[in-house]
Each structure stands twice: as structure tokens, then as C-alpha cells.
Structure 1
Amino acid sequence: MPAVSTTLRALALSAIASLSVTGCQALDDAGRAIGRADLVNDIAARLDQALELTYSADYQISGGRAASIAQTQDPARSVYAWPGGMLTVTAEATTRCETGAARTVCTLLAPPETTAKPSVALFTEAEQRGLVTPPVVVGLLTEAALDPEAVVAQSDTTLAGHPATCVDVQQPAGDFTACVTAEGVLGSFTGELDGRPTELTLTRYSDTVDGASFELPAGAGVVDRRAANS
């Protein structure tokens, strides 16, 4: 997904450029700024790399619930699923499915110009349902890198059998911990998003994707609004 990858690269470079140190700053402050910039660049590069992969990942999110992310490159498509809903982006449509008391209803909207174009809407909706996404983590790291009061520590761990790099951030805006696997996939997150305690942990990762992941739930009602949104 080249468009999103370019966005993440620009974000990382912007963060680093913003951390340029002037001669008036103390050397220890400069060292801390450079360290945070390097960390943002490393994590952003890993997350950026994952956007060019075909993979599926299962997660446990807050409350012990399950969620998942899957994407393929040929054809280019992605799906984010959480308890009670899912959002799928393909060349044919952007589809939002919600499960109510009676049944599941899926709304088909016009497809984006590229499958990467609706990333902001997709990531925002997923975040509201407790599914933390890579751009959210990059944004939080960027803010931490720009915060002179932030303390950032790095460590290593293993998640779902995959090596991961973790960053623990302590700052006035809110503490959080995020881990990214060697493949560049978001491995875990603990912190607050929009004032809500949020947790996410990788439980399974695969470099293959079941095509059924992109199918609408069986028995779902379908509302086609593609013509109205084109």
C-alpha cells in the first residue's frame, strides 16, 4: 500500500526534522532528543515495512476480547475486525459491518481511489472499538519524541513466538507501552486512547491470509450505497 507507506515515512522524517537541536540547548537535552528521534524512526520504519506485507494477525484486546487485522497486496485489500463489527477495504467497496441485537448489517460505500486512501477513517473507527493500529502508535511515539519531559525506555520481548522491540513511554500526556515485532507488525499496546484504558496483545501471526477473511458475515443484510458515494 504505497500511499500509506509514504505517509508513515513522511511522519517519521517530520518528527526527526522537528527535533533539530539549537546551540542554546544543553548537550544532555540534545542527546535525549536525538535518542527519541532515532526510536521514532526505527519503529516507524518497521511499521512502514509491514504495510507492504501480506499477513494476518490475531489480537486479544481489552476485556479479553478478540480482534484481527489482515491484508494482502495482490489484490490490495485489508480488513479490520473487532467484536461486533468489521471494516473491509477492497477495490470494489469500503464495507462497514455492524452486529446489532437482531442481525448483522453491512453497508457498502464507494471504493477509495486506492485501497490505502481511506486509512484515516479506517484507523479511527478501529481505534474507537479498541483495536489499536500502527498509525496510532506512530503518532503517539512522535508526540513523545517532541515532548522534552518524556522518558523513553527500550526493551526486547517475544510475542506469539516472534521477537519484538518494546518502548515504554512516561510523559505528562499519558504513559504507554508499545511493542513491534521484527516483521514490523504491531505486537502489543498498553495505555490510554481518548481517555480509555486500552490493551492489545498479538496472539497469532501468519504471512498467509485466508480469503474468507474478506467475505461478509453469513446472513448479513447488505445496504449498497456505492452509487450515492461515487
Structure 2
Amino acid sequence: MPVVSISLRALAGAIISVLTISGCQTLDGAGRVISRADLVNDLAARLDRSNELTYSADYQLPGGESASIVQSQDPLRAAYTYPGGMLTVTADATTACDTTRKKPTCTVTAPAVTNTKPAIAIFTDMNKRGLVTPPVVIGLLTAAAIDPNAVIRQHDTTVAGRHATCVEVEQLSNAPTSKFDACIISEGALGSFTGVVDGAQLDVALSRYRDAVTGSAFDLPPGAGVVDRRPTPQ
């Protein structure tokens, strides 16, 4: 399995299948009663399936800042840009760039490996810069599905002109946050997220979505110094 897809799934683990948990219920399009566990599992699975898409998503952050998530399938790669940095993930390497200085610096490391702390850290570190990534949200949705004390409310809305299904989660335990709001658009990408995760206040809203990417989206910052820390092949 390609490394990007593996890395994205490493944080969330296996999406919990049908769970019977008492609490709020709603109806799906066919009129079937679905539990709150079914609801958040469906959103987590939908967001997880976005790993199979080619798309570009721009996000608005507080204070006029912006971020983006770009993903391509051929070749399989992803790029995340956020205030002060950029991260690219490919089958060959993980490249983290610091753009806070006059001369950007980029550090190239070996591809992330499934179920390792480094694989998780490359996504959670972006919380500190204001961008919450799909793997982090998948993990929170999964935690909400298995927490019998979590309070979950659902509503629909429109984000950047696209239909989105949203959940408001409160009283969540054994997770990096006790409450959060998340919206997933019909295409499967993250529509919005609000919450305090690992002490960082996150307020992310989709401003533009396209089912295409430009090659330049994966280019490193102009003039960046690059340090390659990948092991030398034997």
C-alpha cells in the first residue's frame, strides 16, 4: 500500500464498524434509524476515503491566515501548507519546511511508517500552526463513536458552496479534546473544524474546493535550503 495512504490511516486506526451505543438518533436518506455511533463512523469513513481522491482544498484560519491541503493520486502524494510551514508526504520521503525565516529550510526524512509515533507526529504537529488535518479529525470521530458518555448532535450546512454534514461533540474523554465541531463535505474532504486540540485553539473553514491539483502545489518554497536526513542506501 502506498505510504501516504498508510500514514493517513495510522493515526485513526481501524474505523469502528457498527456499534450499539445509546444516545441521540437520526434518520438517513432512506429513513433508516441510525445511532450516533453510525453517524460519526460514517463521517470518519467518508473522510478516510478522501485519501483516494485528487483534490485541492483551501482553508481560512483566524486572523486572516490561510492553509491548504492538496492531494494527488498519480503519483500518490500530499502537501499541506499552513502559517509558517509546509509538509509534503510521498512514497519516497516526508519533507517538513519551516518558512518563518527569511530563508526557508526543509528537512527530508524517510517515509512515515504505519503505527509509529513519527507517523502520527507529522500530522499532530500542524495543530500548533493552526491547521487540523484529516487524520487528526478521523481519530477524534473514532473516539467519539466508542465513548458512551459523549454527547453528539448532528446538523447539515453549506461550506464553500458545498453540502456538509456536521457533528457537535461534547463530554469526550480519552481524546486530545473534550469537545469539537466538525463538518465533512459530500465529496469527503474536511469542511470545517472548531475545537481546542492538545492545547491549541483550532478554527478551520473551507473556502475553496477543487477536484484537481497543479503540479506546483508540491514544489518546495523558493530558495529553500534542503537537508536530507534519509538513511544512505546500503
Q: State the TM-score bracket (shorter-chain normalisation).
A: 0.7 to 0.9
Q: Percent identity?
A: 56
Corresponding residue SS for 2:231: helix
Match of 1:156 in 2: 156
Q: Does 1:185 align with 2:206?
A: no
Evaluate the alpha carbon distance shift between residue 69 and residue 119 of structure 1 in structure 2; reply closer, same or farther with a 3 A threshold: farther
- Alignment match, 1:13: 16
Once the two structures are overlaid, the 10-residue window that deviates more, 96-105 or 181-190, is: 96-105
Q: 1:92 deviation in Å?
A: 3.6
Residues 41 and 145 in structure 2, CA contact (< 8 A), matched pair in contact too: no
In structure 1, what is the equivalent of residue 131 of structure 2? Answer: 131
| Cross-structure match for 1:47 | 47
Q: Name the structure 2 match of 1:202.
A: 206
TM-score scaled by length of structure 1: 0.82
Q: Name the structure 2 match of 1:89.
A: 89
Residue 168 of structure 1, CA deviation: 1.1
CA separation of 1:97 and 1:163: change in aligned 2, threshold 3 A: same
Which residue identity does 2:150 align to in structure 1?
A: A
Equivalent residue for 2:6?
A: 3
> What amino acid maps onto 2:48 in structure 1?
D
Aligned residues: 217
Quote how far apart the aligned CAs of 1:94 are.
1.5
- 8 Å CA contact 1:95, 1:106 repeated in 2: yes
Q: Runs of at least 4 residues of structure 1 off by over 6 A? A: none
Mapping 1:26-41, distance limit 5 Å:
29=22, 35-41=35-41
Distance in 1 (CA, whole Å) between partners of 2:172 and 2:90 is 40
Aligned counterparts of 1:194 and 1:135: Cα–Cα separation in 2: 15
In structure 2, do the counterparts of structure 1 residues 79 and 160 end up closer, same or farther at CA, with 3 Å as the change threshold? same
Structure 2 spans left out of the alignment, 5+ residues: 26-33
Measured on the aligned residues, the alpha-carbon RMSD in Å equals: 2.8
Note the C-alpha offset of 1:228: 5.5
Please give the secondary structure, in 2, of the residue aligned with 1:125. Answer: helix
Higher helix share: 1
Give the 3-state SS of the residue equivalent to 1:11 in structure 2: coil
The corresponding residue for 1:216 is: 220
Q: Which runs of 5+ in 1 are unaligned?
A: 22-28
1:11 Cα deviation from its structure 2 partner: 2.7
Once the two structures are TM-superposed, the CA of residue 62 in structure 1 deviates from its matched residue by: 3.3
Mean Cα deviation higher: 103-112 or 75-84 = 103-112
Task: Identify which range, 181-190 or 85-94, moves more after superposition.
Answer: 85-94
Q: From the superposition, tell whether residues 229 and 146 of structure 1 become closer, same or farther in structure 2 (CA, over 3 Å).
A: farther
Distance 2:56 2:209 in 1: 6
